[in-house]
């Protein structure tokens, strides 16, 4: 991927992250168009554990966020990945995949036990995510709620995202 770099966000990136996230989800039918607001609320609440920006030729073209999730069994060091955003004109070029690989690596470095996300099972399978009955997110189709175990054993729990995700 020529000319692509992925790095941690800086305060100067925030307007571009907001704009690209809005653009990435503008025509997504299952979106409530709150993704940029969620990222901003996570940031404001100190819950944006990982925030990576994909840069191409000096422009922000993608972003991924990760934030802590709580598990009903008390398991610790679990994170939710999302939203993952790529500007529409840059989708299908591997930027989303590069962001996913980078956020998983960042979570490993932070000692994460695992991570969860809500998304297309066929796309996230390539990163090792699976739908498991052991981790549940009430109110969503179970096949779209997926997890990646990074350390230890699978917990058996309900997952709760940060309040920024509440609609």
Q: Is 147 exposed, middle or buried (0-12, 13-18, 19+ CB in 10 A)?
A: buried
Q: pTM of the prediction? A: 0.94
pLDDT at position 129 over 90? yes
Task: Quote the percentage of the chain above a pLDDT of 90.
Answer: 88
- Residue 132 pLDDT: 96
Question: pLDDT (tens digit, 9 = 90+) per residue, 50-83?
Answer: 999 999 999 999 999 999 999 999 999 999 999 9
Q: Which residues of 114-139 are buried (b: 16+ CB within 10 A; e: fewer)?
A: bbbbbbeeeebeebebeebeebbbee
Q: Sheet harboring 135-136: ordered strands across?
A: 70-71, 157-160, 135-136
Is residue 130 very low, low, confident or very high in pLDDT (cuts 50, 70, 90)? very high
Task: Confirm if 93 and 32 have CB atoms less than 8 A apart.
Answer: no
| Measured distance CA(79)–CA(70) in Å, rounded | 8
Question: pLDDT (tens digit, 9 = 90+) per residue, 111-122?
Answer: 999 999 998 899
Structural domain 4-165, CATH architecture = 3-Layer(aba) Sandwich (3.40)
- Residue 28 pLDDT: 82
């Amino acid at each position: 991927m020529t000319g692509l770099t992925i790095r941690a966000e800086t305060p100067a990136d925030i307007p571009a992250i907001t704009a690209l996230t809005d653009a990435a989800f503008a025509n997504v039918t299952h979106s409530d168009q709150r993704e940029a607001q969620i990222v901003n609320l996570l940031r404001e609440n100190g819950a944006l554990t990982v925030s990576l920006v994909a840069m191409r030729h000096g422009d922000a073209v993608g972003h991924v966020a990760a934030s802590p999730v709580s598990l009903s069994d008390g398991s610790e060091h679990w994170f939710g990945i999302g939203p993952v955003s790529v500007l529409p004109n840059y989708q299908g070029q591997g930027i989303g995949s590069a962001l996913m690989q980078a956020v998983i690596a960042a979570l490993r470095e932070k000692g994460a036990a695992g991570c969860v996300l809500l998304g297309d099972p066929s796309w996230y399978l390539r990163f090792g995510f699976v739908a498991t009955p052991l981790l549940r997110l009430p109110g969503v189709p179970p096949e779209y709620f997926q997890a990646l175990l990074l350390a230890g054993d699978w917990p058996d729990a309900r997952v709760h995202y940060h309040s920024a995700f509440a609609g």
